[in-house]
Structure 1
Amino acid sequence: MLYFGNGGNVMQRLQTVRLRGARVVYGDHFPLIAPCLIAAIAFALRVHRLDGQSLWFDEGFALHLASQSLPQMIEQNPVGWLPLHSIALSLWLRVVGDSPFAARFFSVVFGVLVVALLYLLARTLASSRTGAMASLVGALSPFLVYYSQEARTYALWLFLSLLSAYLLLRALGHPERIRGWIAYTGATSLALYTHYFSIFLLPWGAAALLYTAVRSRRWKTLLSGVACQVVVFVVSVPLVGFARSSMLDRYGFWRSPLSGFQVVLDLWYHLTTGGNLPFDRALPVMGTLAVVGILGLVLFRPLWNGVLMALYFLVPTFGMLVLSSWRELYVARYLAIAAPAAYVLVAHGLDRLWAATTAYRGLLGKSALAVALCSIGVAGYSWCQALQNYYYNPDYARDDFRSAARFIEVGEGEKDVMVMSGGGIFTALLPYYEGHLPWIDMPSFGEWLDEDQVVEGLNALLAGRSGGRVWLVLSGNQITDPQNLIVAHLWTYGHVVEAKNFPGRTGVRVLVFSARHDADTLTLTPFKYEHLRANFDNKVELLGFEIDGSQFAPGDDIHLALQWEAVTHLEQDYHAFAHLLNDRNVVVAGHDKVPLNDYFRPRAWPVGEPLRDEYVLSLPENLSSGTYELEVGLYSYPDLQRLLVVGASQRERDRVLLPPIIVDG
């Protein structure tokens, strides 16, 4: 057990627990069979059905990058990605082959090594028994199993970040060994080249260095650690270019902003279930493991070792909250670095409960045993359910591009074409697609999609293919095509003859479009808007609108498109409304929402760029015949204060009236 004492860091080979005068002694020489058995369990869970699910977009793009040359990897590296995983995966695939199974097996290797490192870390901070429990928790964790089966950077990142932490503790235990500091520096540098949030290893390491120096008065140890961190900073200077591109990226990943409490709650939900249980059914295991983890922290001796693990969890979490106050960055996997600390604290809590069952006699010992067994039972049952969902429930699986590819192969015609909308999803679909359709992927990864690009790209693809259909594959298009330009154009100039949804966490949808009955082929032209120029509080202008008719029957849907333009950078995410009003000014049909969609909210809008925004107003079946006003506008949320229209009359001071709608039943 690593102990930060007055005389320096001493590796104690015996831990003594005193509970009401009782003395329980156990050695650190835990049988080797336990860690080996746990590693075997970890391997079995991680290799089980390894190719049972399709590659999803991130994995497909990871394989695509790994197939490129080094300059191409750097050039095509997506926003938020760093190059080490691509380089390492490329070398791996050259040796073992480039199949999806081989790519995922690369993550399996590091996933099992993470479990081994959990044992070493917990043994260093507490005892061999805590180490065995921590590695068992890690082996069974649905969160770690998921990312150990994904051909992405997270298993490698977890391994390198955990290795960095372990090597720092080893270096603090033996500060005179130069090779220990060199190893720590190397592991931390490699972790930084794997994921940006490895930067949180540095403040955590600084806390450990400072505490050790103050308690032991060995200032050379502090200087050695600071020198290592300076070297890490210097080595990481080339990452500035990657970081800059990520900072300029204007997309967020959440449908709505999350509070700090929601971030912590969602993180704990994923760490304890892998996101593989409905939230209400996850609450028992979330609460149980939180209580056991807190117990493990409080009962750590020396307490600083527990604080060190708490900081390993809190530093990246707090860092994410700070960064998210600037722009929305939170995704649970970005805080995977915090998972080992949570599992070590939970393991130590279980260890203390188990120790109490032998240290105490009578009611207290039986109570400790009951709590320990209850905790193990709740976690075991919940994790079995979570793993079962992950392995076998398609709703919890990765997006099923494999089935989508087979669906297209079976139904494609000689003159058909394929359009993929998701910003690079061809990398996930084409590994499974064995058909012969010409295809286009729009937009290219990281590019902005405009209407001219859509019209020109689709018309060029369809040229000379009279009677051909368009197979449109959608996945993640809410982010890459927030104006819905591709679907809107195909829907306007064609009609859907077939549609199929494929399950998954994001989902894949295939729509088949053919030309309308009065045309031989799909020919697209730019949308024609009715022009107006309404200025909302010198913040946003409404440039024009498009309605798919002026006369409707009860039960019909009115399709409305508005064209917004930000006049200045917007400080908040305004909401928009489109309301149909009767002669008593009562809303009979309406649509309120964040303009465009929740992934491209007004705060992300580029200044001076026209943006298409679509609404559907569903008319009630019993709506009376007559003429109805159609009003549109913007309001702040949640105070619901409408933005005023500059220079408008009193009747239209906080709205714009579009041409009236006639309902004829």
Structure 2
Amino acid sequence: MLGCSGVFSVLNRFRPSGVHLPRYLLPTLLLLLAAYFRFHQLETQSLWNDEGNSLRLAQRSVGDLIDAVGRDIHPPGYYLLLKGWISLAGTSEFSLRAVSAFQGLLTVAITITLGRKLFSRSAGLIAGLVVVINASAVYYSQETRMYAQLALLSAASMWALMDFLSPHPPAPSPTRRDGGRSRAWAWPLTLSLCNAAGLYTHYSYAFTLAAQGVILALWMIGRRVDSAARRVLLRAIALYGLTLLLFLPWLPTAWDQIMTWPRTGLDLSLTERLHTMLAWIIYGNTAGDIPWVNLIWPGALMLAGVWPIRWRRTMALIWGGITVMALVVSGAYREANLKFLLPAQIAAALLMGGGVWQLWGYATRTRRSASLQPRFIAHLIAGVSLFLIVIGQLEALNTLYTDPVYARDNYRAIAALIMAEPRSGDAIILDAPNQAEVFTYYYQGDAPIYELPRGLGGDDDQTRAEVQNVIAMHRRIFVLFWGEEERDPRRVVQTTLDIEAYPVFSEWYGDVRLAQYAVLQETPETPQVIATTRFGEQITLSGYALSTNTAQSGDVLGVTLFWQTDVPLDTRYKVTVQLLAPDGSLVSQHDAEPGNNRALTTTWTPHRMVTDSHGLIIPPGTPPGLYTIIVGLYDINAPMNRLLVTADGASPSDHLSISIVKIS
């Protein structure tokens, strides 16, 4: 594939005489493409938890917003911008995400400009293309969070720094002295203000500041210390002093927040971390498991981009390298924090664009009388490497739009399901409670919402009592489980519901699990019906109990099973409880490992009873008649192979019919 320089040469070679390619045509086309990808399906996915938090913070008064953010882990800059934005654009999903989409678009424009200033116009276009189609850049340009703003301000500050360190034309004539002085300070002030805004956007912006410090130091080392260099140094000290002064009011809060950031402690080698970060930076967050070989051609282009060494060309290398190293050294490395690498993704794009330009330029500069082999190899490396990178990025981008694995948590669908058939006696529990901001954006029903555990959790007795109180007051309970590992690590909410209510269904909506429980009679502690039915060679169903033998459509039928094993088990089995129509067709089903996935068969103690409750919902409109309840047991890894059931006087079967229920 031709690099952009080659595209220009081909176009110029075959253009009609006197026809010139408009200077801004390709940049404009790139920006249009960037706009398409960033605004495409912008409102298709539901807002997820953190986006809901962003909205609710932005809806507060300025004073309340700053106070609330001070207790969070992020500075207030993005939320204040979002507050101003929604006052003009509203709070629809499209409007909320549009601010990030616009910021992503501006980032592409600055990347093109940076590439042109660091290398050439063609390099800038290639770098812009790499950012345009990078799945990570697109993903965070479609999210109501501060990460697109982090990337934008990082790129803008690097642009300002480069201009600040570049030689300028002589001072203007006396008649234009004031205008010249104001222009001379425009870029330095832009640098200082961008840096302050970056710190108020996200604390990982400090990685970009560290890179700027190294770039300034190397620039000074590479210059003869003369009066001009000393002036630049003094101005730099003043500019970074201004940045610190602007951030000073928030500095104590920032220090407290950073000191309480959790350290991941992930047991990964540096090589594994480096591989993950490079794959994320180059191909995007949806690229999957990228083999090392697929990092060779991007690496070759980046090396070509900095050779031969020039201080301008090394800016992107220093910027990206320090950002990557800082993420590891700071202890913040984990998969969820790879988004801190968005500035490094821009730096890598600049290096790859510069590498294509360097290789193509090498081939162009080679004397025509020389062998064609070096020129051909340079063209081949540049074109094929860029082609493979673009193909990989497009595959990841397609995955972003089409693979549900990468879809955001679907609170919209959860709220719609709960509101579809409301009943008196409904209740909703949010475990953990910080889901309230996004859930109430969609949920407009009348059921009371209980946010449990209270506060940061930790008081298990209080949480258990509050769940029991909900059970006492309501007949149907919906529970949204998300982030309970931090707020409810001992699963008090779920355990209490599993013991005192009947689980009806459980379904994942991204990383959020929606469960429904039915409150019927008190769950029995002993069987109503004694049985000694064998499932396989080692498991015995000792008995069962039903909440009722008669029910109506729309009701929930409670089934409690009592299991035992003769010996310890090394296989996890799942229980299926099914309601069959008179003709044998399936009407309702509940599958779960025993104890609603808490009493795994591999944890059973021989000859100790295990209580296992299931709720069977009888769908509305179910015809009256006599229905059969059956029970089966199967290997969790082989769901089609049920254990053989043997009961006294009956032939072996793959299920046990335990009762007939009358539906009226």
| CA deviation after TM superposition for structure 1 residue 100, in Å | 1.2
Q: 1:59 to 1:253 in 2, by over 3 A?
A: farther
2:147 maps to 1:144: no
Matched position secondary structure for 1:275: coil
Instruction: Map 1:254-333; keep pairs closer than 5 Å.
Output: 256-280=266-290, 285-297=294-306, 299=307, 301-324=308-331, 331-333=337-339
Show the 5 A alignment for 1:408-447.
Answer: 408-443=418-453, 447=456
- 8 Å CA contact 2:57–2:65 kept in 1: the answer is yes
Residues 108-160 of structure 1: per-residue CA shift (max 9 Å, x gap)? 11100000110111111111111111111111111111111111101111111
The one-letter code sitting in structure 2 at the alignment partner of 1:470 is I
Partner of 2:614: none
Residue 511 (structure 1) shift: 0.6
Alignment match, 1:457: 466
Amino acid at match of 2:515: L
**Residue aligning to 1:511:** 515
Matched, 1:127 2:136: no
Of residues 177-186 and 50-59 in structure 1, the stretch that sits farther from structure 2 once superposed is 177-186
Shift of 1:248: 5.2
| TM-score of the aligned structures, taking structure 1 as reference length | 0.70
Query: Residue 97 of structure 1 is aligned with which of 73, 90, 93?
Result: 90
Following superposition of structure 1 onto structure 2, how do residues 466-485 of structure 1 map, counting pairs within 5 Å?
468-485=475-492
Q: Provide the aligned C-alpha RMSD in A.
A: 3.3
The counterpart of 1:182, out of the listed 189, 194, 203, is 189
Match of 1:531 in 2: none
Secondary structure at the counterpart of residue 441 of structure 2: coil
- Counterpart in the other structure of 1:34: 26
Once the two structures are TM-superposed, the CA of residue 413 in structure 1 deviates from its matched residue by: 2.1
Tell me what 1:108 maps to: 101
Instruction: Work out the CA distance in 1 between the residues paired with 2:540 and 2:338.
Output: 41
How far is the alpha carbon of 1:356 from its aligned partner? 3.8
337, 359, 376: which is aligned to 1:366?
376
The structural deviation recorded for 1:216 is 4.1
For 1:401 and 1:483, how far apart are their aligned partners in 2? 24
Counterpart among 337, 341, 348 of residue 342 in structure 1: 348
How far apart in 2 are the matches of 1:193 and 1:184?
14
Which residue pairs with 1:169 in the alignment?
A: 162
Change (3 A) 1:442 1:104: same
Rounded to whole Å, the distance in 1 between the matches of 2:283 and 2:52 is: 25
Q: Pick from 193, 207, 214 the counterpart of residue 207 of structure 1.
A: 214
> Is this contact kept in 1: 2:502–2:518, CA < 8 A?
yes
In structure 1, runs of 5+ residues without a counterpart are 1-28, 521-552, 558-580, 592-613, 629-664
Q: Tell me what 1:532 maps to.
A: none
Q: 1:510 aligns to what SS in structure 2?
A: strand
Alpha carbons of structure 1 residues 510 and 93: separation in structure 2 relative to 1, 3 Å: same
Tell me the distance in 2 between the aligned counterparts of 1:107 and 1:241: 28
In the TM superposition, structure 1's runs of 4+ consecutive aligned residues that sit over 6 Å from their partners are: 327-330, 625-628
The question of whether the paired residues in 2 share the 8 Å contact of 1:438 and 1:461 is answered with no
Between the aligned partners of 2:391 and 2:112, the Cα distance in structure 1 is 23
Residue 600 of structure 1: aligned partner: none
Q: Which amino acid aligns with 2:373?
A: L
2:580 alignment partner in structure 1? none
Cα distance in 2 for partners of 1:422, 1:273 equals 33
Question: 1-side partners of 2:438 and 2:210: how far apart?
Answer: 37
Structure 2 counterpart of 1:234: 245
Residues 630-660 of structure 1: CA deviation (Å, up to 9, x unaligned): xxxxxxxxxxxxxxxxxxxxxxxxxxxxxxx
Determine if contact 1:252/1:329 at 8 Å carries over to the other structure.
no
1:204–1:411: structure 2 CA closer, same or farther, 3 Å change rule? same
State the identity as a percent.
Answer: 23
Larger Rg: 2
C-alpha displacement of 1:107: 0.5
Q: Report SS of the residue matched to 2:330.
A: helix
Structure 2: distance between partners of 1:386 and 1:81: 29
SS at match of 2:479: strand
Cα distance in 1 between the residues matched to 2:205 and 2:540: 54
Match of 2:146 among 150, 153, 157: 153
- CA distance in 2 between counterparts of 1:339 and 1:60 reads 27
Which residue number in structure 1 is paired with residue 457 of structure 2? 448
> In structure 2, what residue type is equivalent to 1:435?
G
Letter of the 1:499 partner, please give it: S
**Cα deviation 1:317-369 (Å, max 9, x = unaligned):** 222222218x9797101222222111101111122233344344622222223
Structure 2 residue 616 is the aligned partner of structure 1 residue 618: no
Change (3 A) 1:371 1:328: closer
1-structure distance, mates of 2:66, 2:374: 60
Distance 1:231 1:381 in 2: 44
Contact 2:468 2:496 in 1 (8 A): no
CA distance in 2, matches of 1:68, 1:284: 50
Give 1:464 deviation, angstroms.
3.6
How many residue pairs are counted as aligned between the two chains? 510
The question of whether the paired residues in 1 share the 8 Å contact of 2:467 and 2:496 is answered with no
SS of 2:518's partner is strand
AA paired with 2:36? A
Deviation per residue, 1:400-426 (Å, 9 max, x gap): 111122222224422110011134112
| 2:77 match | 84
Q: Does 1:195 align with 2:212?
A: no
CA shift digits 1:69-116 (9 cap, x unpaired)? 112212222632110100000100100111111010100111000001
